[in-house]
Amino acid sequence: MRRAILTIVLCATTAHAEEVSVVAAPAIEVVATLEPDVAQRLTEVERDAASVAPAKLDVVLERALVTYEATDEFSVAQRPAAKPRTVAVLSTIAGRAKAGGELIIAARALDARWALTGGKDVQLGAALATWAERDGDDGQALYLARRARLADPSNQAAEQLDDKLSTNQRALTGRLAVVAGIAALVVGGYLQYRVSQIETDLSLHPRSGADVNTALSERDRDDLIGTSLLIAAPILTVGGVVWMWSGTPKSNPMSPGELPALVQR
């Protein structure tokens, strides 16, 4: 009897265990075709990219990048299939925005396209360089210039702006001022030495009145020039150091908030 009861309990327990066990769902794999909702969204984006006013293309751009800004598994799986149409619509948005004078929207669309395709992008380099030149924030302008150089290493405008914002433009003039200050100190000291030499020579050797007047004139001239140089020397030296220090770049590259933050950029 006990054996029968034990058998029944074991069977019930086994059946319950089988009943509640759940097999783990398989991982979502990359698909070759678009899901209907993603395809529908891209169709709407393509329509709006070709029709809405250039100033409103930023909204269209955001919708075009939904699949690439999302982090869920379904969006990640759809990215390869959505890429060709997304790249095409980003080019459309960029072209219409640029034609309509919307530089930042055009640059954002081109930047997103480059993030998806990689390689050299002359259009993006030009757009980012122009944006950088117009940006009033040195940190953002430096970031844009360097990103433009990544997209198009041959972009000279971006290279020049990067150099301007990341190097001390006052270093050369500051160094010249320091050198001039040192030179003034040396020459001024020498002229003051000549003054003392002339005075010593006049006191030790008798001379005619004309020679004395000539020597005194030379002494006064050297004294005036030498004193002026000794006064100017510290001003030039300290001023040059301060001038160099004031030209030290103080901005770090900082990405503008307008650029799209795509996942796995």
Q: Is the pLDDT of residue 225 over 50?
A: yes
**42 and 86 Cβ atoms separated by less than 8 Å:** yes
C-alpha 124/C-alpha 147 separation (Å) is: 9
Average pLDDT over residues 255-263: 71
Question: Tokens 């041959």 belong to which residue?
Answer: 154
The single-letter code of the amino acid at 88 is A
Place of tokens 């395809």: 39
Domain residue limits, the chain: 28-118, 119-167, 171-246
Q: What angle do CA 73, 74, 77 make, to 5 degrees?
A: 85
- Mean of pLDDT over the chain: 83
Q: What is the pLDDT of residue 83?
A: 93
Q: How far apart are CA 5 and CA 202, in angstroms?
A: 137
Q: Assign 258 a pLDDT band (cuts: 50, 70, 90).
A: confident
Q: Please give the pLDDT value at position 1.
A: 44
Per DSSP (E only), the strands in the chain are none
Q: Is the pLDDT of residue 159 over 90?
A: yes
Q: pLDDT over 70 for what percent of the chain?
A: 86
Q: Is 235's pLDDT higher than 50? A: yes
How would you class 8 by CB atoms within 10 Å of its CB: exposed for 0-12, middle for 13-18, buried for 19 or more?
exposed
Q: Are 239 and 130 in contact (CB under 8 A)?
A: no
In this prediction, residues 227-250 reach a mean pLDDT of: 87
- Output the furthest CA–CA distance in the chain (Å, rounded): 152
Residue 23 confidence (pLDDT) above 50: no
Is 187 buried (19+), middle (13-18) or exposed (0-12) by CB count in 10 A?
middle
Q: For residue 35, what are its two tokens?
A: 């899901």
Q: Provide the angle, in degrees to the nearest 10, between the axes of the packed helices 122-134 and 73-99.
A: 70
* pLDDT over 80 at 18, yes or no: no
Per-residue pLDDT tens digits for 37-89: 999 999 999 999 999 999 999 999 999 999 998 888 988 899 999 999 999 99
Q: Are 166 and 138 in contact (CB under 8 A)?
A: no
Whole-model pTM: value is 0.64
CA atoms of 262 and 155, how far apart (whole Å): 24
Residue pLDDT, tens place only, 84-138? 999 999 999 999 999 999 999 999 999 999 999 989 999 999 999 999 998 878 8
